[in-house]
Structure 1
Amino acid sequence: MIRVLVWNEGEHERMDASVQAIYPDGMHAVIADGLREHLGDEVEVRTATLRDPEHGLSEEVLAATDVLLWWGHMAHDGVDDAVVERVHRHVLSGMGILVLHSAHFSKIFIRLMGTTCSLAWRNDGEQELVWTVAPGHPIAAGIEQPLRIDRQEMYGEFFDVPAPDELVFVSSFAGGEVFRSGMTYRRGRGRVFYFSPGDQEYPVYHHPQIRRVLANGVRWAHPGESARELPTVTNPPRTHA
């Protein structure tokens, strides 16, 4: 059983009627439903939001989470630094994390990457094509080539992140831009997958293929049965000839 927590700020849904119309129960609810749809009995899925006590990310909750999905946009600064450090420690100890869309500017992603994580963007609601560039990667299993999103916010290069361990997807846009839209990293014992499609103004998380990508990402990021612990180094005893 993969224990999954879908975390979402939940602020756009509170404040914007157009977002409420697309995600009446929040983006986290739609993402969670997609994981249950594709993974069934493989997963136990819970959700949490910014306004929950400790943002729904207490020590006990994280200890019981194998893979965390993180969506944030307008309230990155509202996430308590102590909670960020707690999540960071759990990732280094083996918890997987999927960082979604504008969570590239989240405190936790910047902490994991060690860069500004800035990028080019514009929001003209144009077509995005997501191209698989690593067809043998498990996250790309069953994904159309290209994956077509009719309307989406444009993200473009330069994306200030470290070179990924694996580049899985590259997106192109009607305006001509390209973007590294699906990348994996290892941090400590944890696996990190960044996936960019998913602006709040469009029904991207209802898209069957996007839901499959996220399900594949959860499978890939799952730490397995290994114990949750920080990497440690033990110096061997000195020997003398």
Structure 2
Amino acid sequence: MKVLVVEDNENVCSMIDMFFIKEGIEGIFIHDGNEGYKRAINEEWDLIILDWMLPGMDGVTICRKIRETKNMVPIIMLTAKDSESDQVLGLEIGADDYVTKPFSPLTLMARIKAVTRRANQSNQTMEQMEVIETHHFKINKETREVFLDGHIIPDLTPKEFDLLVFFAQHPRQVFTREQILDRVWGYQYYGDERTVDVHIKRLRKKIGREKQPFFHTVWGVGYKFDEMVE
């Protein structure tokens, strides 16, 4: 496993590298944002870890630019920012997960394993069902394109796309937030379940209609996907 870590704090890098060695992970550590971005887009990686604040180019910009190239490599953000708006921003621009500093190396390793496991599962199942068609949607898993009544839906983040695929494959089934995190994020999420609420809210805004939100809240339980008109 080859991981790019773009982090300017050498103590943090040393701590991560120690655990990488124990896990048999090849870690490449870059301390400058501009150099990190060049390495990110010009080489193949199994995972990229980005610090939020970096000299040269910040991690948010790097993440956004990577996603603009349609590169779906798993990305974890490291951030000292713990406000909900900052966490949401990281997810909106295409990060798969975030870890708030200070963090336990064991927690980071759990996130790494979960994110990469989810990516591998997606690749392995890609051939099983390339195109999902429902009454209103056509979802191409290979090209990661979504069409609503024949019109393409632009600007879905990788996780929003994965969430839509999951629900479209399980219409009218009710899932708790914990189940959604486990099935879409690939692990039991340590911390705030609002991650699910944020993604559902954004998907409703991007694909929903006034009387047809597609994603329905089941009070006291969680969410379901239903194409009925309210």
Higher relative contact order (CA 8 A, sep 6+): 1
Larger relative helix fraction: 2
Q: TM-score, normalised by structure 2?
A: 0.43
Larger relative strand fraction: 1
Q: TM-score, normalised by structure 1?
A: 0.41
